[in-house]
Amino acid sequence: MAAAAAASSGDPAGAESTGTVPATAAPSLADQYRSIDNLLLRPSPFGNETGSLPNGEFEPGEDTKARLLSEAKVLVIGAGGLGCELLKDLALMGFRDIHVTDLDTIDLTNLNRQFLFRMSDVGSGKSEVAAKFIMERVPGVTVTAYTKPVQEFTTTWFRNFAVVIGGLDNIEARRYMNEALCELVVRDEDGDIDPSTIIPYIDGGTEGFRGQSRVIIPFVTACFECTLSMFPPAQGFAMCTVSSTPRKPEHCVAYAFMVLWEKERKGEKLDKDSPEHMRWLFDKATERAAEFGIEGVTYKLTMGVTKNIIPAIASTNAYVSATCALEAFKIVTFAGQTMNNYHNILADYGCNCPTYPLERSPQCPACGPQMSVNLSVPRATTARELAEALTSMPLPVVDSEPITLSEVMIGSVPDVVFATAGIKGGWHDRSKDNADKPLSELVEDGQQLTLRGPELTEDTVPRGASVTVNFAD
């Protein structure tokens, strides 16, 4: 997408337009971001290093300001209710290299709160329209748009960013993003983390008058997977109930969605952003409800069940987005104390906005303990000798106590290099022919092999165990 930015405009935010704004004289960079000088150019008693979650030391001056304006690259995932607010906040507070991805298109129902879009944008891609709008309104800001789900980006691609902010509406995308950033963390031979490989993830979410923002620093704070139990299970419907004895209006919508569409419009792909398709589902759900004497089927409910839409309120989006953008600003500049680490807004219960630290889970499959053994051995070392070495000493476990193995299986099923006699499943008999073969005939130099053993469980090494064989000669 072209990065050229048009000049700022005085066009009122509520006016309907195509996004094209009249040109005016663009302010200088110094004038445009003068408001942040008091935060970045003067000493502060509340620098990042003074907080309970320090991740850097604040050094006031032009270098820090330049890091924000010229060097920091930020990724925003989602260009919906939260995403629109985030793009606006980030652009106005000094982030000038912003990337945004969203695969959704703009729907008429988005316009009441997703203020970067206009009536003429309905049907267009959210990320592309949002990027164009921001670049026209905020001179000097480059917003690069992508139109694919976050799961389609390679893990290494995220290394390009100083911070990632999620404005997502589903659990699976959050889990993928969390796991990807955990995988990017590199440790040295002593197991110590290389801080330069840590990419903070800021997650925001809203539901009606409630919302949350949190800072996830991989292997330092609780990650998303650590706290997965905080989220209720996804709503589902038993097909026997939906098909034969519906009791709720949601069952009628689900029947129209899961049964009637396939039956009556077989081969036609359902477009959840199509008003015509949604109207068809609504009409069929209404007929189904009338047949069973069920009330409460509405067009809004039809969209909610079909698209799993979470109720959105503009002011909640604005609040949560502001907290996320502020944390990104503090993480990049170190000009303030990083939030530690979970902030909640419960506006339906008054002004209740607590902040508290979520704790890491020792059984987390994303950031929990992991055994990663590096062995340097002669090429003539046999598979049996490798197994004896692995069971004769305590093996290091990242973020936990060492473990001594009583039995071991080296390699993954079915390509098992060798298994000792006590391993269940008959793998010792299947691999015993390899026992006295040199490792140089069985594995490559530097090859990583999975380890299995009775002491290696989901509780002790939730991220698994492996040995890397390096030939010393």
Q: Where are the beta strands (DSSP E) in 409-458?
A: 409-410, 418-419, 447-452
Annotated active-site residue in 84, 240, 324, 353: 240
Integer CA distances (angstroms), 240 to 75, 284, 301, 306, 336, in order:
43, 18, 21, 18, 55
Give the Cα separation of 255 and 274 in Å (integer).
19
Residue 360, number of CB atoms within 10 A of its CB: 18
**Among the listed residues 171, 438, 208, 235, the one whose alpha carbon sits nearest the alpha carbon of residue 312:** 208
Phi, psi of 139 (to 5 degrees): -60, 140
Beta-strand relationship, 342-346 and 418-419: unpaired
**Among the listed residues 342, 421, 387, the one whose alpha carbon sits nearest the alpha carbon of residue 52:** 342
What would the two tokens of residue 231 be? 């989220």
* Beta carbons within 8 Å of 409's beta carbon, 6+ residues apart: 416, 418, 419, 420, 423, 427, 451, 452, 453
Is 240 designated active site? yes
Asked if residue 200 has a cis previous peptide bond (ω within 30° of 0), the answer is no
Residue 129, number of CB atoms within 10 A of its CB: 25
Contact 208, 319 (CB under 8 A): no
- Indicate the burial class of 333 (C-beta count within 10 angstroms; 0-12, 13-18, 19 or more): buried
So which residues are the catalytic ones? 240
